[in-house]
Amino acid sequence: MRKANPIRPRQKYSVRRILTLLVITLSLAGTIAGQTAGESATIETAAWLRYLRLDSKTRNRYAHLPANIVVLGKSPVLETAEQEVIRGIDQMLGRKLDEKTSLQGESLVLGTLDKVESLGLALPELIAPGKDSFLLAHGRIHGANCIVITGLNDRGVLYGSFALLSKIARGQSLGQLNEMQSPYVRFRWVNQWDNLDGKIERGYGGPSIFFANGKVRDDLTRAGLYAHLLASIGINGCTINNVNAAPGALEDSFIAQVRRIADVFRPWGVQLSMSADLSSPKIVGGLDTFDPLDPRVAEWWRKKVDEIYRQIPDFGGFVVKADSEGRSGPSTYGRTHADAANVIARALKPHGGVVFYRAFVYNHHLDWHDLKNDRAKAAYDNFHPLDGEFDDNVVIQIKNGPIDFQVREPASPLFAGLRRTNEAIELQITQEYTGQQKQLCFLVPMWKEVLDFDMRVNGKSSPVKDLVSGRFSRRPIGGFAGVANVGLDENWLGSPLAVANLYGFGRLAWDPNLSSEAIVDEWTRLTYGNDPVLVQTIVKLQLSSWHVYESYTGPLGAGTLTNITGNHYDPGPESSEENGWGQWHRADHQGIGMDRTIKTGTGYIGQYPPEVQKTYESLENCPDNLLLFFHHVPYTHVLHSGQTVVQHVYDSHYDGAAQAPEFVAQWKAVAGHIDEARYRDILARFEFQAKEADKWRDAICGWIYRLSGIPDNKGRVGGPASKAPVGKTTPGQTRGIPSVKPA
Ligand code: GCV
């Protein structure tokens, strides 16, 4: 269900203008609904930044908040921070802070550490002095009690301001305020797969907020609001165009347009970056080659990058997808990915820019007859041999799993396979394979399993979060990249509850040690207020959603059994087989699962460090939830749970399909605790999901029965009382599907 998006023509997008727009929108909504649980759904663009008016009891907790605000220093980011604090406190507490130009009495003091200390305040040392860290503290300055928001840079001050407002919005005490926070990783970027015509690849929240008809939009209001949201969760970069990059994006005339997007990002401390096509020197530059080792190519990149920095002085760098899914790459000239990444990195280096080079490189014409072929091996095979050959401003961007954002995959072994190279984890916020925002699937618990997974590098504790942050291998930089794909829809992602995934990505990039519960609790309170019925219901729904979705779509690590050659949404397990895409589950009449063992299979397990190999190689140790990812077993194989594989598939699909309607029942408990429009909207989504779960259950149960010939021992499939249809899974789907993967 998509809401119409009001787009007003605007020419200038100053911070003040965006904030004014927000204030008007929010106060209108507040007037309509009294700023409590019943607040109107017309302010979805504010997402979790609603700053709802608190009830009087909660407001009283903040009675001692200083009446003045002073900012030490001057910059667009500091100005943003000040205006945000003023607006937030006004809306939540009904108090207008007095803007002062110098310290006068009890004040909220905003400024970088050096400025604050110059007032004679001794502050506790910032324990982990990384860029973007912040400190919230009480302090007496010139005899007055002050609240200090400080950081090592302006961005830290902005992040500290958001943190203070978040505490107030959630009714938390400011009594013992003395809190230092430092981001876990240096680069916390979102990627947008926006095409220049305004369509978004795998985007389910409406058209691009950046582009339309081959140009940058005239109206960039939403781009500014997006930067506002991103900054509030500590995201410091946004790659604005699709990794399947149109070379035209690097034309000088286009860069001049892109500059306007950078201008609306800047006050929020969000660096703009772009996806670049490796063949640009040839296609855009008119050279007869794009060989990364050709000096003319190096010179072209140098000049191009210089021009970009002339227009966008704080440009972040490039994301590169090469030799993957039909993109040009260094293999054209027999060069390596290191050659390709480094030629661009060297052009960026003098300006402080970075290259995020994607490890998502694989052959999508793999011969499916060969049981030793395995797409899961590709990233490691391509990049591990190059470890140590990448320049220090190159970051290898690795998808969380070795295939492609399936509902369950093991952590990519490449995280442990690069010890002398910077790395970043790529997570997909847009739900390409996990219900496309039509179904609820809160992904934070899934991401956390990967981030916490201990790779046991050299037999030592080495969770993925410490590999990608650079902590384990003492790398200078590391990162998180989240494929967000927000669009012009009022609620950004096409569904109000799906927005929690964007919030959760930012919070995990900032601190992967936060629990899923804490993250979703924060998001719910900031978005919907502190009504306990609403908070408990939404938190419970979100936290159970991934397992429910998994249980009716993708059993035992076999992947999401979706239509991979079509929409990536409907059930279509047959589409995975007999084509070159390599998302195989190898289901036949005897058994199911990919044999990836070292002993008899593709050898993929051998890419992990020895202790992890031991876990996955043997049927005894392999966890049930990844069994079919690593092993080919008969349908009668007995799981650790005591159930056979085939019976597990029946049971989990029936359980999942029974839990989906429970979402409807749970949601009904919030009637009267939320505005009617949003209540009905979300209710309709859950009702729809319940039907989709039935569809999935019947398709997958029918399919596995057809293959195995083994009926369900509870009589639901294949028995006389069976209801599940056992005919074809996906209408129109045949064996021998051509290797075409529509964009
Ligand atoms: C941008 C998957 C998606 C593609 C995407 C690709 C990638 O294959 O289906 O749409 O392309 O991943 O991550 O590059």
Mean per-residue pLDDT over the chain, rounded = 92
Query: Measuring from atom 8 of ligand 1, which residue has the nearest CA?
Result: 404
Is pLDDT at 733 greater than 90 in this prediction?
Answer: no
Query: Measuring from atom 11 of ligand 1, which residue has the nearest CA?
Result: 244
What residue type is assigned to position 4 of the chain? A
Q: Give the residue, 380 or 37, on which the prediction is more confident.
A: 380
Residues 553-567, mean pLDDT to the nearest whole number? 94
Atom of ligand 1 nearest to the CA of 743: 10
Q: Say which range, 122-131, 170-179, 379-388, has the weakest mean pLDDT.
A: 122-131
404 is catalytic: yes
Residues 636-652, mean pLDDT to the nearest whole number? 98
Cβ < 6 A, ligand 1 pocket: 193, 201-202, 242-244, 321, 360, 404
Judge whether 2 and 490 are in contact, CB under 8 Å.
Answer: no
Is pLDDT at 721 greater than 70 in this prediction?
Answer: no
CB-CB neighbours of 500 under 10 Å: 28
Q: Which of 4-9's residues contact partners 24+ apart within 8 Å by CB, and which partners?
A: 4/490, 5/206, 5/488, 5/489, 5/490, 7/219, 7/221, 7/222, 7/488, 8/219, 8/221, 9/218, 9/219
Atom of ligand 1 nearest to the CA of 202: 10
Q: Give the residue, 505 or 176, on which the prediction is more confident.
A: 505
Query: Measuring from atom 12 of ligand 1, which residue has the nearest CA?
Result: 404
Is pLDDT at 347 greater than 60 in this prediction?
Answer: yes
* Angstrom distance (rounded) from CA 239 to CA 426: 13
Sign of the CA dihedral with 118 first, then 119, 123, and 129 last: negative
DSSP state of 711: P
Residues 684-705, mean pLDDT to the nearest whole number? 98
Atom of ligand 1 nearest to the CA of 201: 10
* Angstrom distance (rounded) from CA 211 to CA 217: 5
CA nearest neighbour of 481 among 319, 258, 308, 265: 319
DSSP state of 184: S
DSSP state of 562: B
Site to probe by mutation for ligand 1, drawn from 202, 412, 579 as the one with most ligand atoms within 8 Å of Cβ, is: 202
Distance 360 CA to ligand 1 centre (A): 9
Interval 328-343: pLDDT, tens:
999 999 999 999 999 9
Alpha helix positions (H), 575-644? 610-617, 627-630
Residues 691-707, mean pLDDT to the nearest whole number? 97
Judge whether 178 and 136 are in contact, CB under 8 Å.
Answer: yes
pLDDT of residue 720: 72
Residues 579-608, mean pLDDT to the nearest whole number? 97
449 is catalytic: no
Q: What percent of the chain has pLDDT over 90?
A: 87
Strand order in the sheet with 68-71: 98-100, 68-71, 107-112, 144-151, 134-141, 178-181
Distance 71 CA to ligand 1 centre (A): 44
Q: Give the residue, 606 or 35, on which the prediction is more confident.
A: 606
Distance 273 CA to ligand 1 centre (A): 19
Q: Give the residue, 128 or 593, on which the prediction is more confident.
A: 593
The values of phi and psi at residue 700, to 5°, are -75, -40
* Angstrom distance (rounded) from CA 331 to CA 660: 47
**Segment (H or E) for 507:** helix 499-510
Q: What is the pTM of this model?
A: 0.93
pLDDT of residue 16: 54
Residues 448-472, mean pLDDT to the nearest whole number? 98
* Angstrom distance (rounded) from CA 342 to CA 456: 30
Q: Mention every residue, 6+ apart, whose C-beta is less than 8 A from residue 715.
A: 721, 722
Q: Say which range, 26-30, 248-252, 637-641, has the weakest mean pLDDT.
A: 26-30
Distance 585 CA to ligand 1 centre (A): 20
Residues 689-709, mean pLDDT to the nearest whole number? 97
511 is catalytic: no
Is pLDDT at 399 greater than 60 in this prediction?
Answer: yes
Is pLDDT at 36 greater than 80 in this prediction?
Answer: no
Selected catalytic residue, list 154, 404, 409, 466: 404
Is pLDDT at 94 greater than 60 in this prediction?
Answer: yes
CA nearest neighbour of 609 among 454, 457, 452, 464: 457
Is pLDDT at 439 greater than 80 in this prediction?
Answer: yes
Atom of ligand 1 nearest to the CA of 426: 13
* Angstrom distance (rounded) from CA 18 to CA 589: 60
DSSP state of 557: G
Distance 144 CA to ligand 1 centre (A): 56
Tokens of 60: 């009283």
Task: Give residue 743's pLDDT band: very low, low, confident or very high (50, 70, 90).
Answer: very low
What residue type is assigned to position 237 of the chain? G
Atom of ligand 1 nearest to the CA of 242: 1
The values of phi and psi at residue 480, to 5°, are -125, 130
Selected catalytic residue, list 90, 325, 449, 452: 325
HSE of 271, CA atoms in CB hemisphere, 13 A: 19
Atom of ligand 1 nearest to the CA of 324: 14
Site to probe by mutation for ligand 1, drawn from 191, 321, 404 as the one with most ligand atoms within 8 Å of Cβ, is: 404
CA angle 82, 227, 89 (to 5 degrees): 30
* Angstrom distance (rounded) from CA 413 to CA 400: 9
Selected catalytic residue, list 432, 466, 574, 595: 432
* Angstrom distance (rounded) from CA 546 to CA 440: 8
The values of phi and psi at residue 650, to 5°, are -60, -50
* Angstrom distance (rounded) from CA 99 to CA 317: 37
Query: Measuring from atom 2 of ligand 1, which residue has the nearest CA?
Result: 404
DSSP state of 721: T
Distance 431 CA to ligand 1 centre (A): 12
CA angle 465, 470, 473 (to 5 degrees): 110
Residues 34-56, mean pLDDT to the nearest whole number? 73
Tokens of 673: 């605790």
Distance 451 CA to ligand 1 centre (A): 21
Distance 741 CA to ligand 1 centre (A): 10
Distance 506 CA to ligand 1 centre (A): 21
Is pLDDT at 3 greater than 80 in this prediction?
Answer: no
* Angstrom distance (rounded) from CA 280 to CA 6: 36
* Angstrom distance (rounded) from CA 210 to CA 197: 10
**Segment (H or E) for 275:** strand 271-276
Site to probe by mutation for ligand 1, drawn from 193, 200, 241, 581 as the one with most ligand atoms within 8 Å of Cβ, is: 193
